[in-house]
């Protein structure tokens, strides 16, 4: 599991470590790692033209010391001194190695730009001359390496208050920063490289966690020799309506593909007909009234995709939520509980899977505010509503009160397609029925859904049914015995900017 931390947590760990080391040791470690990444991007370092954007803080010092190392290898390195002050020792070492102080016009000829303007302590909009320099650097088209965090991105939250560097690579020191993993900050991060400077044992409990392939390999349920369809998890699905028959088909498909031992589908005649045609494996109950009393025993429910929001749907939702098993609520189910919060007053666990607009209705917030500060609002919703929240979007995050927020790094922009959320509901519901907690079912479901989306898309448009079809292959790639990390779990964000 990868972990990430706020700026305050990182600074606290750095303070403890620096007290035990000779002065300047951490900066030298950071500069060495930064220079290595820059050299890799340049390819042929000798003669390469590198421009450092140097601010007043330690990030500027890291950039200057890294520039010194590159200059020693023959790179032509210039430094634009943008801050009100400059790290004196770093500047002296840089100049002694052959580095030059230049003006911003040097950006036009750069093969590589190093962003050392502001560090993890900065928040809010960039001030001049930083803002103008950032916009110029972004417009040049040369690769940009951000030192620790792209200037303009809040390291703790991922919020962006105006202009911000669009990094090709972000070289972050000591530990991952929360704001590099969550949009909108993640969209500015590019490929994320971690330089170990020795903080490990000094770090507190994480602010954010990221599941890896190895975590899923341990967490995903597997059938044993004595397993039967009932022990593998029976999921109830209350979804679809006369208008939205496809939502039922996709939710049931996602559940079956994700390993549910049995799916009991309950709905009216039009969606029943479609589910029966697509998934003869499903056990179907045709509802002539909004009641689940004849559906049979289940270990969890999926409630809401395409269900409608009228009185009939409300009564059915009330019946499902009156049960004593975990319930995943999505789509129209979220609209129903937004209108009637009393539906959420239950002792059994609840997992909700809103996008930003649905969450806005649930907690009375503005959608734009939620998209700009995803962590803040998903955590607030989990605490206020007393449920586990999977917030869908450009960064999928899972929050449960008093637990580290989990960030999903699989996925593809091609998943922004109608019906893919219904598939996710079925997948996460199947994991609930198989015994995972809401927290783990949401996290594993999001990971597998993103991985299936990548495999189904292959760089091209996809339909929701393609995602469901790719789920077994995604699971196979997790449980098939390989221990090699692949691009599917690499922390990189460059495809967000396409």
Residue 489 has pLDDT above 70, yes or no: no
Q: Which residues are annotated as a binding site for K(+)?
A: 59, 115, 151
Q: Which residues are annotated as a binding site for (6S)-NADPHX?
A: 58-62, 119-125, 130, 148, 247, 306, 355, 422
Q: How confident is the model at residue 477 (pLDDT cuts 50, 70, 90)?
A: very high
Helices (H), 207-296: 213-219, 245-257, 269-278
pTM over 0.85: yes
CA distance linking residue 164 with residue 149, whole number of Å: 10
Q: Which residues are annotated as a binding site?
A: 58-62, 115, 119-125, 130, 148, 151, 247, 306, 355, 392-396, 421-422
Q: How confident is the model at residue 492 (pLDDT cuts 50, 70, 90)?
A: low
Q: Which residues are annotated as a binding site for AMP?
A: 392-396, 421
pLDDT at 481: 41
pLDDT at 229: 79
Give the tens place of pLDDT for each residue, 364-411.
Answer: 999 999 999 999 999 999 999 999 999 999 899 999 999 999 999 999
Give the tens place of pLDDT for each residue, 59-81.
Answer: 999 999 999 999 999 999 999 99
CA distance linking residue 419 with residue 306, whole number of Å: 10
Q: Which helix (H) or strand (E) holds 350?
A: strand 350-352
Contact 208, 4 (CB under 8 A): yes
What is the domain partition of the chain in residue ranges?
2-208, 213-483
Give the tens place of pLDDT for each residue, 162-197.
Answer: 999 999 999 999 999 999 999 999 999 999 999 999
Pick the CATH number of 2-208 from 2.40.50.140, 3.40.50.1220, 1.10.1040.10, 3.40.50.10260: 3.40.50.10260
| Beta carbons within 8 Å of 30's beta carbon, 6+ residues apart | 62, 65, 147, 148, 173, 174, 195, 197
* Residue 288: both structure tokens together: 């002539």
Residue 439 has pLDDT above 60, yes or no: yes
- Taking Cα atoms as reference points, which of 469, 451, 426 lies closest to residue 260? 426
Q: Which CATH architecture has domain 213-483?
A: 3-Layer(aba) Sandwich (3.40)
């Amino acid at each position: 599991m990868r972990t990430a931390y706020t700026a305050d947590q990182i600074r606290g760990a750095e303070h403890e470590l620096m007290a035990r080391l000779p002065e300047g040791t951490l900066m030298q470690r950071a500069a060495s790692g930064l220079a290595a990444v820059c050299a890799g991007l340049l390819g042929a370092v000798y003669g390469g033209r590198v421009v450092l954007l140097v601010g007043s803080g330690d990030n500027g010092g890291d950039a200057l010391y890294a520039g010194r190392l590159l200059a020693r290898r023959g790179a032509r390195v210039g430094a634009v001194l943008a801050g009100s002050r400059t790290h004196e020792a770093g500047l002296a070492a840089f100049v002694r190695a052959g580095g030059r102080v230049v003006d911003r016009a040097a950006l036009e000829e750069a093969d590589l730009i190093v962003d050392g303007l502001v560090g993890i302590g900065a928040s809010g909009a960039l001030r001049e001359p930083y803002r103008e320099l950032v916009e110029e650097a972004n417009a040049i088209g040369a690769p940009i390496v951000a030192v620790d965090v792209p200037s303009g991105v809040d390291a703790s939250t991922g919020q962006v208050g105006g202009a911000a560097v669009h990094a090709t690579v972000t070289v972050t020191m000591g530990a991952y920063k929360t704001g590099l993993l969550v949009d909108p900050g993640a969209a500015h991060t590019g490929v994320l490289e971690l330089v170990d400077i020795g903080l490990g044992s000094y770090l507190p409990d994480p602010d954010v966690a990221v599941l890896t392939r190895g975590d899923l390999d341990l967490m995903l349920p597997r059938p044993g020799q004595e397993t039967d369809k009932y022990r593998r998890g029976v999921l109830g699905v209350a979804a679809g309506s006369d208008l939205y028959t496809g939502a039922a088909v996709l939710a049931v498909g996602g559940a079956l593909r994700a390993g549910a031992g049995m799916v009991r589908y309950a709905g009216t005649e039009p969606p029943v007909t479609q589910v029966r045609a697509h998934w003869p494996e499903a056990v179907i109950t045709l509802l002539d009234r909004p009641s689940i009393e004849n559906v049979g025993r289940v270990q969890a429910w999926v409630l809401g995709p395409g269900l409608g929001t009228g009185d009939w749907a409300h009564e059915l939702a009330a019946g499902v939520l009156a049960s004593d098993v975990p319930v995943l609520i999505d789509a129209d189910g979220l609209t129903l509980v937004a209108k009637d919060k009393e539906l959420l007053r239950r002792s059994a666990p609840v997992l909700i899977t809103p996008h930003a607009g649905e969450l806005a209705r649930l907690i009375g917030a503005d959608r734009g505010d939620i998209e700009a500060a995803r962590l803040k609002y998903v955590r607030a919703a989990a605490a206020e509503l007393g449920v586990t929240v999977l917030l869908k979007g450009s960064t999928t995050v899972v929050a449960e009160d008093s637990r580290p927020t989990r960030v999903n790094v699989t996925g593809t922009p091609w998943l922004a397609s109608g019906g893919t959320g219904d598939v996710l509901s079925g997948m996460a519901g199947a994991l609930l029925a198989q015994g995972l907690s809401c927290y783990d079912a949401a996290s594993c479901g999001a990971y597998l859904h993103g991985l299936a989306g990548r495999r189904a898309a292959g760089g091209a448009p996809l339909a929701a049914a393609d995602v469901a079809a790719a789920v077994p292959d995604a699971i196979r790639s997790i449980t098939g015995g390989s221990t090699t990390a692949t691009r599917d779990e690499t922390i990189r964000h460059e495809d967000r900017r396409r």
